[in-house]
Chains A and B, each alone.
Chain A
């Protein structure tokens, strides 16, 4: 179960990584999340999620070249793996099915 389950925050991170392709790394992800959702997660929380997702096999990473604005340190760039894609697709389709099952009447009185 643990292997495939995708938490809400993890899903968000995974999606953002897709958005940022091919330049998804810790700080960029944090900034993008801040831009898109007005949430500002701690940088440590992002990395923690990234490490979890990589452990689950949803992400793969490689180190990019060093750049000046990082004080000569290399970025760890992330990409979604096939199983990562599966996981978000599963979430999405689950959500869609559930949406479709809601009877139109349910919205009527809102």
Chain B
């Protein structure tokens, strides 16, 4: 009969808490009561509610009778209260001073917070995958002409071999992405509606075993179903609205029937792999009309999941595979997925940098700006310290020790830093959308655990660094001198404050110098002659119908005066990355491997890009023979004397050299020009059309071209880009950084101005009496201004001497990433000096004018 009822366990943490504060003799009866009450509560209430009551009942016992004696440290609490009270009185007495002080600090902090958000965002790329430590992307290094070129991807026969024979590779997936077609698809659900273009990828079925992209509906590995496609949540919504798309059929390229098999969650913006649809690799083969046997030499983007994180062992095994002997000038490297975003450029076959260099520069700028605003904080605090003399004197007389005074001033700084951080957080929240707009990122204001930790660290460091000097200084005051109204060392050592200001001005100098070089370099890149006029060229993607009827389409376009020329290529004229050494010519040393960039073209393309023939002729379109046109640098690399009319071999076929053209850029100017070979292709093999139109009538021209497009292709909508805009996009990163640093520069200059103003105000106030005497003895206004500003000229000079080498070093580091770079313009150094000196003089003069107008008797009489 006495069967015991099951009991419920109350929250343990609450019990621990009770034990923490409650006297030992009370713990047992109280806990018993709480426990009993909890059992009763659980009979009728939810667990959550009962727990809440348990907690609130526990808190209810924080009453004098139950508290442990040693919990009540009345003395310290009283001290803290006193500090708070003095501090709040200070705030009330000198609100403006404290406002400037705190706000100045939050100015620096907001820059740091925004920088942290930006840096954390770029650090967070590709970290959502559970196995992300073991995921690698494969790159192929090809060695030729003494250089190593690193390109993403591995050719099929090699990756198949890796999958079969390398035990350290758990899964390998081949992906087709970033191809104009079929990666970009025109989705047309309804004949009436226009295309919805969206980008996707094709991958084999290991893809979902490596990556954790979340499937919302459908099988967990949709790539196993042939002729199927998985859509992102938002694409599905765009296409099918609220109806369930699973199982719906869709004609891909208006021809191949595929079934929607799954819906996956939209990819986060901080993923390097981006796609709105994903389909099996077989489907891409089907779209291309090839089988796997045909494309053994074709390079696919390849990701691998290693069994354990031993990258170099696997790399070694891969590179010693026998199949690579055929490709003796190639090697394969594995690049960790989590580094993909920040380290995306390669030098000598190894990851060498990329966005990371910008991350570092921005981080450095943020630290600089924070340091500058801390200097202001220190200077303002110490400058006002004479006002605290009495308080400190009284405290000392009453027995305050130095360490307790230190504690007091640190506590005050801490409170100020906390307030400043809160203001800065609010400002960061306000400015984050503008930052996103500027950078094109999608950073969200999330107070993640990481961020809170960083925030706490910044608060502590800022408190320590900006609190230490004032605390030491103020605690040192001699109480007797203070209380007897004798002069005491109130402002601290003059030198310290002067050096702090020098540091500040040199930092802002560095930022100004570096920013101006950023700006000049970017400007240089955008105005640099690429070998042709970029304005007024349209890049258009033709469909099968356009290239089949190319001649008719071209004629129709050219009938209109709005269109000058039209040409075709199988490459991308501003981002042609493909290079090959499968070229030979008469007199070639067969051991030598020199890379050339082969680009398929027709005469129209030469006309569109105004690639002038300087020797020989254009392609002869009537002649069916294989023909090439060489650039000057290609000719000189081959060392051909009389190139026109000679025959060279390209991809194993003999081509006749028809003409020579000047060099032009086919890539972003981060890269140097690789000698280019244009070989004639027939329009039927083209992938892209370029059209030169009347740039003064852009809208009209585009309308006309689109009209003609639709006449030849009723199913698809025209997809086109303006070349100049695309070109600007190549330098998007640089543009972002240059706008970010211009922003940083403004803030730095403002903070430095506040700093100079502060120091000069303080100096003039301290020298009131001296100035009065000088005036009595007949000093003129300009002489007094001279006296007051002499010191600042030295400050400007020394600060510049510090910022020059530092600025030079940062600029040189950054510029070394460009193949086409400006030389560091040396004149900016003296210009910077002159401007700093002038600004400082102006500020000091404004300050001094107040003093000059002063009546000397008023100052002197004060004695």
Contacts and interface: CB of A to CB of B under 8 A. Distances in A.
A61 to B, nearest CB: 9
Given A63-B28, A75-B32, A52 B65 contact: yes
Contacts of A47: 26, 29-30, 33, 61, 63, 65-66
A74 interface: yes
A19 interface: no
A73 B57 CA distance: 17
7 contacts: A43-B33, A43-B34, A69-B5, A69-B39, A70-B35, A73-B29, A76-B29
A52 to B, nearest CB: 7
B33 A26 contact: yes
A75 B26 CA distance: 11
Interface in A1-50: 25-27, 30, 42-45, 47-48
Interface in B2-58: 4-5, 7, 26, 28-37, 39, 57
Contacts of A74: 28-29, 32
Nearest to A70: B32
Nearest to A51: B65
B398 interface: no
Given A47-B66, A52-B65, A26 B60 contact: no
Given A63-B29, A73-B32, 16 more contacts: A25-B32, A25-B33, A26-B30, A26-B33, A27-B36, A30-B33, A43-B57, A44-B60, A45-B60, A47-B65, A47-B66, A48-B65, A51-B26, A68-B7, A70-B35, A71-B32
B65 A68 contact: no
Interface residues of B, number: 23
B29 A69 contact: no
A20 to B, nearest CB: 14
Contacts of A69: 5, 7, 35-36, 39
B493 to A, nearest CB: 56
Most chain B CB within a 10 A radius of its CB, from A51, A71, A74, A75: A71
Interface in A67-83: 68-71, 73-76
Contacts of A27: 32-33, 36-37
Most chain A CB within a 10 A radius of its CB, from B32, B57, B65: B32
A27 B5 CA distance: 19
Nearest to B38: A71
Contacts of A70: 32-33, 35-36
A73 B65 contact: no
Contact of A71 (B29, B35, B60, B65): B35
Interface of A: 25-27, 30, 42-45, 47-48, 51-52, 63, 68-71, 73-76
Nearest to B65: A51
B57 A42 contact: yes
Nearest to B58: A44
A62 to B, nearest CB: 11
Interface string B699-715: 00000000000000000
Contacts of B36: 27, 69-70
Contacts of B60: 42-45
A42 B57 CA distance: 7
Most chain A CB within a 10 A radius of its CB, from B5, B28, B39, B64: B28
Contact of A68 (B4, B31, B33): B4
A76 B66 CA distance: 14
A42 B37 CA distance: 12
A81 B62 CA distance: 27
Contacts of B37: 27, 43
B299 to A, nearest CB: 69
A29 to B, nearest CB: 10
CB-based closest 4 A-B pairs: A44-B60, A76-B29, A73-B32, A70-B32
Contacts of A43: 33-34, 37, 57, 60-61
Contacts of B66: 44, 47-48, 51
B1 to A, nearest CB: 14
A13 B57 CA distance: 19
A28 B63 CA distance: 20
Contacts of A45: 60
Contacts of A48: 63-66
Nearest to B37: A27
A12 to B, nearest CB: 18
B193 to A, nearest CB: 67
A34 to B, nearest CB: 12
B4 A44 contact: no
Contacts of B65: 47-48, 51-52
A71 B31 contact: yes
Contacts of A71: 7, 31-32, 35
Contacts of B7: 68-69, 71
Interface string B781-793: 0000000000000
A73 to B, nearest CB: 4
Contacts of B30: 26, 47
Nearest to B27: A73
A86 B63 CA distance: 28
Contact of A26 (B29, B62, B64): B29
Nearest to B23: A51
Contacts of B57: 42-44
A57 to B, nearest CB: 15
Contacts of A73: 28-29, 31-32, 35
A103 B4 CA distance: 59
Contacts of B33: 25-27, 30, 43, 47, 70
Interface string B92-103: 000000000000
Contacts of B32: 25-27, 70-71, 73-76
Nearest to A67: B32
Interface in B752-794: none
Contacts of B5: 68-69
Most chain A CB within a 10 A radius of its CB, from B26, B33, B39, B61: B33
A44 B61 contact: yes
B509 to A, nearest CB: 63
B68 to A, nearest CB: 14
A54 B713 CA distance: 98
Contacts of A44: 57, 60-63, 66
A64 to B, nearest CB: 10
A10 B251 CA distance: 85
Contacts of B34: 43
A25 B33 CA distance: 8
A62 B174 CA distance: 78
B18 to A, nearest CB: 11
A55 to B, nearest CB: 8
Interface string B50-84: 00000001001111111000000000000000000
Most chain B CB within a 10 A radius of its CB, from A27, A42, A51, A52: A27
